[in-house]
Amino acid sequence: MRSQMAELLHEVKLKSLNQEASMMPSVVNERAVQLYPLSNYTFGTKDPQYEKDASVAARFQRMRDEYQTIGMRKTVEGVLLVHEHNLPHVLLLQLGTSFFKLPGCEVRPGEDEVEALKNNLTETLGREGDVIHWGVDELVGNWWRPNYEPPQYPYVPPHITKPKEHRRLFLVRLPDKAMFAVPRNYKLVAAPLFELYDNSTGYGPVISTLPQSLSRFSYVYA
């Protein structure tokens, strides 16, 4: 008799817990991002803008030299999204035939990283006299370079205590229309997410993982 009573009480308690769980609000909160068609934007040209370093070796040497005075390098980059036929595309700067990068810059000591990115986007893609409102919105990626070498990781490896560079990627909301001016030594290309996915050979380890980083968003196509 006691065992039957205990079993009945257990069933009642379990039912009550299930009812409470069904009444709890969902913790899932999917973020919607407004995308505008690529055709809304006009692309002109302006004077070339050159990299600070003439080679990869020179870049790492400068990083090594600066580490002694300012410590770990901090870099910010912008993920600019548009769409074509309701397919999300990322705007990338192309140098030569096979090198692609996100627009961005190094952050000087004491400089606000969001303001640094906005200023760089204006310097890189803005037209003289125009004001573009860059909606630097949400952090979508962190990457660390443990040594003065090309490999980067979306985490700090456990044996590394002093990484040499920290890259932060931000989603940038574009206005519904804008006129861009691209340095003549670059092309500004719109790459679809499906082309970037798992394509580190063509785009490198950071850009090729953007489809995963952006998959938590839903898109509203204008």
Q: Do 182 and 45 touch, CB atoms closer than 8 A?
A: yes
User: Which residue has 């397919």 as its token pair?
Assistant: 87
Query: 24 pLDDT exceeds 70?
Result: no
Tens of pLDDT along 102-150?
Answer: 999 999 999 999 999 999 999 999 998 888 999 998 999 999 999 999 9
Q: What are 190's two structure tokens?
A: 């719109």
Distance CA 168, CA 104 (A): 10
Tens of pLDDT along 158-175?
Answer: 999 999 999 999 999 999
Distance CA 81, CA 33 (A): 9
Question: What's the pTM?
Answer: 0.85
Report the pLDDT value the prediction gives residue 42, as an integer from 0 to 100: 96
Pick the closest to residue 100 from 195, 212, 215 (CA basis).
Answer: 195
Pick the closest to residue 177 from 136, 130, 145 (CA basis).
Answer: 130
